[in-house]
Chain A
Amino acid sequence: DAGVIQSPRHEVTEMGQEVTLRCKPISGHNSLFWYRQTMMRGLELLIYFNNNVPIDDSGMPEDRFSAKMPNASFSTLKIQPSEPRDSAVYFCASSLRRATNEKLFFGSGTQLSVL
């Protein structure tokens, strides 16, 4: 399996622009997570989906952030409008919520820079 695939790897944009991050989870996994990593705040859980349904979005910082999962093999995280403080590495992760010892598999991340 190719693992969790994220795109783009790097994104540089200007303040006010819309940014869309993409994620393809591991085939067969039924849970998907979006995390954000910064030096100041560490790894923060933004939102997670179970069977394509958003379960908990309490970590989404503002209404500027939105996430969708239209099907089991694709998810997007959108920021509109973007701000410099959104600069971070955004990770997507997936898991199979079934067995007790299942773990999260992380993608390579998207390095976002908002100028």
Chain B
Amino acid sequence: ELKVEQNPLFLSMQEGKNYTIYCNYSTTSDRLYWYRQDPGKSLESLFVLLSNGAVKQEGRLMASLDTKARLSTLHITAAVHDLSATYFCAVDKSDGGATNKLIFGTGTLLAVQP
């Protein structure tokens, strides 16, 4: 059974600081997604990582994927308050082909303090 774990579960950080959220998964998959969820809102897609070594950046967020280690990271650079949200990673439960059947991690609640 595919399991997806994130850490930390909760992250309080000051504006201007850097930090990394980690996402580990238990079985082979070449497709990993990062989503953002604001309180009471839906999930917004941030990144799609499709291969080993893939790196994508958008503003202050950068995501990477190491399929051999079954690890993805979401790095936050010089955090600002607007980044406060819950971040989820999700792994495609592929059965030999992309299914978009995603198994989500536990989520990391990020609170950026002024």
Contact = CB atoms under 8 A, between A and B. Distances in A.
Interface of A: 31, 33, 35, 42-43, 45, 48, 56, 91, 93, 95, 97, 100-109
State the majority secondary structure of interface residues on A.
strand
Contacts of B69: none
Contact of A97 (B50, B99, B102): B99
Contacts of B42: 91, 106-109
State the majority secondary structure of interface residues on B.
loop
A91 to B, nearest CB: 7
Given A42-B104, A45-B102, A56-B101, 9 more contacts: A33-B100, A33-B101, A48-B101, A101-B48, A101-B50, A103-B45, A104-B43, A105-B45, A106-B43
Contacts of A31: 100
B100 A97 contact: yes
